[in-house]
Amino acid sequence: MSLWARHRRHFIGDYDYGINYAGFVIHSAIHAARPDALWIAHFHTTNGVGASAHAEGLLPLSQTALYVIPRLSYHDYEGVALHLEERERLQADLGQNKLLLLRNHGTLALGSTPGEAWTGIYSLEKAAAAQVAALSVGRDHVLIAPEDAQEEARRQLAGEATGNGVNRDTRKSHHQLAWEAVRRKVDRQLPGYAV
């Protein structure tokens, strides 16, 4: 009898609809290792999977990528995540970063707020989409951001981490402002969605 069969009732109780076990393996690994991971976004988009399959990983091709790369970790593909022992490798690969490119699989972002997880996954997905678009014409004429610009982006990101990324007028973080904007947009476009 498999571990899943022995512990199924513990994981999902007496409900009829169950869980996605591979999702459980990945998400439980992150929640167990990171007390700041109150929210996790994990996508399997075409662009995210495309960038995750690139041998060089996410390239410094766009402004968004320059701000994503310093916060990005990688986890190599091991097959569908059905083995609990993969959790230790996921935790080690993620380290202290909040963004993860799961090789040949997809994208993941965590945050202490829904806004932080959302802005993380949104930025990672935008950087992946820009890379897939740029590389669709081949690698020969694609511009990699100059090293001094990459270094400046790293310095700017470090400044954001020390509080310079807080809006001076509202004292709200970039993550909170972006999340509130997305919520307003959804409220306008899908009134009553939360009912």
pLDDT tier, 178 (very low <50, low <70, confident <90, very high otherwise): confident
Cβ 118 vs Cβ 183: under 8 Å: no
Q: What is the pTM of this model?
A: 0.82
CATH topology of domain 3-144: L-fuculose-1-phosphate Aldolase (3.40.225)
Enter the tokens of residue 74: 């990688």
What integer pLDDT is reported at residue 36 of this predicted model? 96
Enter the tokens of residue 144: 């990699």
Break the chain into its structural domains and give their ranges: 3-144
pLDDT tier, 192 (very low <50, low <70, confident <90, very high otherwise): confident
Task: Name the DSSP class of 174.
Answer: H
User: Could you tell me the CA-to-CA distances from 16 to 9, 13, 149, 166 in Å, in that order?
Assistant: 11, 9, 53, 45
pLDDT tier, 12 (very low <50, low <70, confident <90, very high otherwise): low
